[in-house]
Chain A
Amino acid sequence: MAQRTHAVEHLETSTGLDNRKLAMWLFLASEALFFGSLIATYLLYRDQSQEGPFPEDVFNIPFTSVSSFILLMSSTTMALAVGAAHRGRLHQMRTWLLCTALLGISFLAGQAFEFTEFVHKGLTLSTNLFGSSFYLLTGFHGAHVSVGVLILLSLWVMAMRGRIGQHNALNVELAGLYWHFVDIVWILIFTLIYLLEPL
């Protein structure tokens, strides 16, 4: 069955680019506008909050640096998983997929911890403009990471059942594209929202 699906999916295309890969790139382009609008909203409302807590009251740069580092490392393991899938090293691929998912989960745990801390310090979605725009932006990013983790774990389960191999390594590659995109968005968020805050 898998073989036949494979045959249908790899018909030659006019551009030579696989249909699903092209669709993924288009989806990510669209997502760029989505996060662009969220980031623009955050920047528009920067320093506009009328009451605290303000960013400098809640941000814990060392902590978020660590969780950012974890997410960045997950891009490395993701790239290793994609590489292993293409070379047919299935054992390695499974390991790196699981590593990536676990790193993603660690990042999400860090975010959950951070949100809890912020709420304890009095910052909720309805406290001020900072709270609204911060939680919406980072919350949607977290939701994207969660979807990515779900995809990675699904791939891992399928790989454990022998349904992912060199012939359909594209599945892993597509997950990789998505995962790297979500990471890149975090680099932007971390830089613009956390690191440049004192400026």
Chain B
Amino acid sequence: MAQTTFDGSSLGVLEALRQLRQQAATYRGIWSWIATVDHKRIGIMYGVTAFLFFLAGGVEALAIRLQLARPGAQVLDQEVYNQMFTMHGTTMIFLVVMPLSAAFFNLIVPLQIGARDVAFPRLNAFSYWTFLMGGLFLYSSIFFGGAPNGGWFGYAPLTEKAFNPGHGIDFWALGLQILGISSLASGFNFIVTILNMRAPGMSLLRMPVFTWMTLVTSFLIIFAMPVLAVGLFQLSFDRLFGANFFNPLKGGTPLLWQHLFWLFGHPEVYILILPAMGIVSEVLPTFARKPLFGYPFVVFSGIAIAFMSFGVWVHHMYTTGLGPVANSAFGVSTILIAVPTGVKIFNWLGTLWGGDIRFKTPLLMALGFITMFVVGGLTGVTHSMVPSDYQQQDTYYVVAHFHQVLFGGAIFALFAGIYYWFPKFTGKLLDEKLGQLHFWLMLIGFNVTFQPMMILGLLGMPRRIQTYPTGMGWDLWNMIATVGAFLIALSVLVFIINVIVTARRGQRAGADPWDGRTLEWSIPSPPPPYNFARIPVVRARDDFWHHKYREDPSGRPVPVVAGGANGHEEEEGHSEHIHMPSPSFFPLIAALGFPIIAYGFVLADYALVAAGVVVLLFGIYGWALEPASE
């Protein structure tokens, strides 16, 4: 039916696609991955891609640390150094932490709410491919005269054409635009999935906290991303078409960029950390064998953080001269946002309190998160104080602070999630000894790297300097930080070895290796394509736990004697009748249009732009006219 809308020449293409699609539906071979709309496969692709970008961002960090290890070093020249820190920041935020979180949204959320897939499986594939295209487009800038060099927040007018010729910033602005489309698409998808696809009985306040935090994060994404998009469009129009938004000669103000960027940028911080908090809220109850302490408080403080995150952005701009009233108001709101965050910390401690704790790697990583994040949060409180922040602005203290929350926080929690859910999707448990070695090396390496940066910042070392003279008192601390960075690299190597070793001869994990509490542990590992042979009916929070245990009079869990515990409610015959969405190539084709359009704009080749638009429209119309399942 679909081909009637296309002319004869595209008929052959469509027929070929149709045949490949049938091949892809068998869940075998490379095409079944390229055309997949299965949330678990998309989640795995998100995770693997983000991890590869993590390695790239890590290598950039090591290059930066080598350059700064000793005073007056010339490992990287100034131009390359600027590109390194820009790409490091941009990579870690947009190509690592956000997509790793998206990997967990994909892998976990449908399982936790008892759904067979997300609300829009093809849109989900589109999100992944668009993310991949955006990342590759951004990195392709090195073949076009150099990577972006304006820092991850790309302050105008430094990023204007007059002060920053070359294509780097264009790649940055358009690359982030593409990544934004990916994030927006997944934001819409996961809100609809969580609100609409819940199993019977899964009321909102029975949802696992990770699912809750995915919901909150998705709302942050759909409200924060368009603001960034406008800022990026303004920057691109200035650079490509001679507009004046940030042109000081025509009266344009750099403050406009800063307002738009941080109005996005501060919610973004919580886009990065709320999923991590969600993961920790799943790991702690499982390994303490207790329900999450104060579940409603954890949920509602997450919501409170999301609301308040839109009212604190000026704390990035205290030194821009907005005046005492604005600074005081945003100082107060920034102090206030620490309150719901603190509430969560106490709830996590309360969860551990009196628990039957098993110190497995996921729990260690989660504890690493809590301790390091507390330090990060407290240094954040010092930034909220305006006079204190005046001293810290643009010093290494700031660098130390945000690594303390983004690495000490988000990365530790994401690794907790990887160790925790790895057996669910591979059927094998990651090696515990190597896992613990990974944790301790990473914890030590992390502190050796970033605590010296706190001191460096207080000693007045500015961020983003390519080198420094000796005799400032910075030499020793910089050398220590560099050693720490290599310890972190070693810990990541241990993790990679762990994955390889596990793949070769890992211990088989059953459906429920950790004695879990939520629905994902009630189905086989790895889950079948349709997830649940029968859609579960949910009767309580931590429903699966209540199938396995009841409480004795003193409140201790006692295993339920008969049934429910094995988690295998599968009856093979069922899968025959479950109608799953068909694979599709159109999300990939549509996503391919974006980098083509973007190259066209960067190179001012409007025929290329038009070609990209044709590819995009071909993908969208093919998608719209193709039946979702057949």
Known contacts A19-B196, A38-B230; A9 and B250 CB within 8 A of each other? no
For residue A125, CB closer than 8 A to chain B, the reply is yes
Known contacts A1-B1, A14-B196, A37-B231; A136 and B243 CB within 8 A of each other? yes
Q: Contact at A30–B226, with CB atoms within 8 Å?
A: yes
For residue B227, CB closer than 8 A to chain A, the reply is yes
Q: Contact at A128–B630, with CB atoms within 8 Å?
A: no
Q: Which chain B residues border A92 with CB–CB below 8 Å? A: none
Inter-chain CA distance A133–B237, complex, in Å, is 10
If A4-B629, A14-B198, A48-B251 are given as contacts, then 13 extra A-B residue pairs at C-beta distance below 8 Å, sorted by A number, are A5-B629, A8-B581, A13-B196, A13-B197, A23-B119, A26-B192, A29-B223, A33-B227, A49-B251, A125-B242, A128-B244, A128-B251, A136-B243
18 contacts between A and B (CB under 8 A): A5-B628, A14-B196, A14-B198, A15-B196, A22-B196, A26-B187, A26-B191, A27-B188, A33-B226, A34-B229, A45-B251, A48-B251, A125-B241, A131-B244, A132-B234, A132-B244, A133-B245, A136-B237
B-contact 0/1 string along A141-174, CB 8 Å cutoff: 0000000000000100100010000000000000
Q: Contact at B223–A30, with CB atoms within 8 Å?
A: yes
Q: Contact at B251–A50, with CB atoms within 8 Å?
A: yes
For residue B579, CB closer than 8 A to chain A, the reply is yes
A-contact 0/1 string along B210-232, CB 8 Å cutoff: 00000000000011111101110
For residue B437, CB closer than 8 A to chain A, the reply is no
- Chain B: interface residue total (CB-CB under 8 A): 49
Q: B: which residues have CB within 8 A of A?
A: 1, 4-5, 119-120, 184, 187-189, 191-192, 195-198, 202, 222-227, 229-231, 233-234, 237-238, 241-245, 250-253, 256, 260, 263, 579, 581, 621, 624, 627-630
- Residue of B with least CB distance to A50: B251
Q: A54 to nearest B CB, angstroms? A: 13
B-contact 0/1 string along A46-58, CB 8 Å cutoff: 0011100000000
Partner of A23, one of B1, B192, B227: B192
Q: Which chain A residues border B192 with CB–CB below 8 Å? A: 19, 22-23, 26
For residue A44, CB closer than 8 A to chain B, the reply is yes
Q: Which chain A residues border B198 with CB–CB below 8 Å? A: 14
Q: Contact at A44–B237, with CB atoms within 8 Å?
A: no
Q: For B198, B224, B244, B581, which residue has the most chain A Cβ atoms within 10 angstroms? A: B244
Q: Contact at B579–A8, with CB atoms within 8 Å?
A: yes
| Chain A 21-41 interface residues, beta-carbon cutoff 8 Å to B | 22-23, 26-27, 29-31, 33-34, 37-38, 41
Inter-chain CA distance A120–B515, complex, in Å, is 73
For residue A196, CB closer than 8 A to chain B, the reply is no
- Residue of B with least CB distance to A161: B4
- Residue of B with least CB distance to A130: B244
Count of inter-chain pairs, beta carbons less than 8 A: 125
Q: Which chain A residues border B187 with CB–CB below 8 Å? A: 26, 30
- Residue of B with least CB distance to A51: B250
Known contacts A23-B119, A136-B234; A34 and B196 CB within 8 A of each other? no
For residue A103, CB closer than 8 A to chain B, the reply is no
Q: A139 to nearest B CB, angstroms? A: 9
Known contacts A26-B188, A33-B227; A125 and B630 CB within 8 A of each other? no
Q: Contact at B243–A9, with CB atoms within 8 Å?
A: no
Q: Contact at A19–B120, with CB atoms within 8 Å?
A: yes
Partner of B222, one of A1, A30, A132: A30
Known contacts A8-B628, A30-B184, A37-B227; A22 and B250 CB within 8 A of each other? no
Inter-chain CA distance A131–B238, complex, in Å, is 12
Q: Contact at A1–B188, with CB atoms within 8 Å?
A: no
Q: Contact at A14–B197, with CB atoms within 8 Å?
A: yes
Q: A: which residues have CB within 8 A of B?
A: 1-2, 4-5, 8-9, 13-15, 17, 19, 22-23, 26-27, 29-31, 33-34, 37-38, 41, 44-45, 48-50, 125-126, 128-129, 131-133, 135-136, 140, 154, 157, 161
Q: A158 to nearest B CB, angstroms? A: 9
Inter-chain CA distance A131–B4, complex, in Å, is 44
Inter-chain CA distance A17–B192, complex, in Å, is 10
Q: Which chain B residues border A13 with CB–CB below 8 Å? A: 195-197
Q: Contact at B250–A15, with CB atoms within 8 Å?
A: no
Q: Contact at B222–A26, with CB atoms within 8 Å?
A: yes
- Residue of A with least CB distance to B246: A132
Inter-chain CA distance A50–B250, complex, in Å, is 7
Q: A59 to nearest B CB, angstroms? A: 20
Inter-chain CA distance A77–B81, complex, in Å, is 58
Q: Which chain B residues border A128 with CB–CB below 8 Å? A: 244, 250-251
Inter-chain CA distance A48–B227, complex, in Å, is 22
Inter-chain CA distance A37–B579, complex, in Å, is 43
Q: A123 to nearest B CB, angstroms? A: 12
Q: Which chain B residues border A9 with CB–CB below 8 Å? A: 628
Q: Which chain A residues border B241 with CB–CB below 8 Å? A: 125-126
Inter-chain CA distance A175–B260, complex, in Å, is 30
Inter-chain CA distance A17–B194, complex, in Å, is 13
Q: Contact at B251–A44, with CB atoms within 8 Å?
A: no
Q: Which chain A residues border B627 with CB–CB below 8 Å? A: 1-2, 4-5
Known contacts A19-B120, A22-B192; A129 and B244 CB within 8 A of each other? yes
Q: A132 to nearest B CB, angstroms? A: 4
Q: Contact at B250–A19, with CB atoms within 8 Å?
A: no
Known contacts A8-B629, A13-B196, A30-B223; A41 and B243 CB within 8 A of each other? no
Q: Contact at A132–B243, with CB atoms within 8 Å?
A: yes
Inter-chain CA distance A64–B241, complex, in Å, is 26
Q: B609 to nearest A CB, angstroms? A: 14
Known contacts A50-B250, A132-B243; A31 and B226 CB within 8 A of each other? yes
Q: Contact at A19–B243, with CB atoms within 8 Å?
A: no
- Residue of A with least CB distance to B228: A37
- Residue of B with least CB distance to A7: B579
Q: Which chain B residues border A50 with CB–CB below 8 Å? A: 250-251
Q: Which chain B residues border A129 with CB–CB below 8 Å? A: 244-245, 250-252
Known contacts A19-B192, A23-B120, A128-B244; A1 and B227 CB within 8 A of each other? no
Q: B372 to nearest A CB, angstroms? A: 32
Inter-chain CA distance A135–B244, complex, in Å, is 11
Q: B187 to nearest A CB, angstroms? A: 8
Inter-chain CA distance A157–B621, complex, in Å, is 13
Q: A150 to nearest B CB, angstroms? A: 9
Q: A19 to nearest B CB, angstroms? A: 5
Closest 6 CB pairs of A and B: A34-B226, A126-B242, A37-B230, A13-B196, A132-B243, A30-B222
Q: Which chain B residues border A125 with CB–CB below 8 Å? A: 237, 241-243
Q: Which chain B residues border A37 with CB–CB below 8 Å? A: 226-227, 230-231, 260, 263
Inter-chain CA distance A48–B251, complex, in Å, is 7
- Residue of B with least CB distance to A151: B624
Q: For A9, A26, A41, A44, which residue has the most chain B Cβ atoms within 10 angstroms? A: A26
Q: For A4, A33, A131, which residue has the most chain B Cβ atoms within 10 angstroms? A: A33
Q: Contact at A44–B195, with CB atoms within 8 Å?
A: no
Q: Which chain A residues border B197 with CB–CB below 8 Å? A: 13-14, 19
Q: Which chain B residues border A19 with CB–CB below 8 Å? A: 119-120, 192, 196-197
Q: A16 to nearest B CB, angstroms? A: 9
Inter-chain CA distance A30–B478, complex, in Å, is 43
Q: Which chain B residues border A136 with CB–CB below 8 Å? A: 233-234, 237, 243, 245
Q: Contact at B230–A34, with CB atoms within 8 Å?
A: yes
Q: Contact at B245–A41, with CB atoms within 8 Å?
A: yes
Q: Contact at B230–A41, with CB atoms within 8 Å?
A: yes
Partner of B234, one of A5, A14, A17, A41: A41
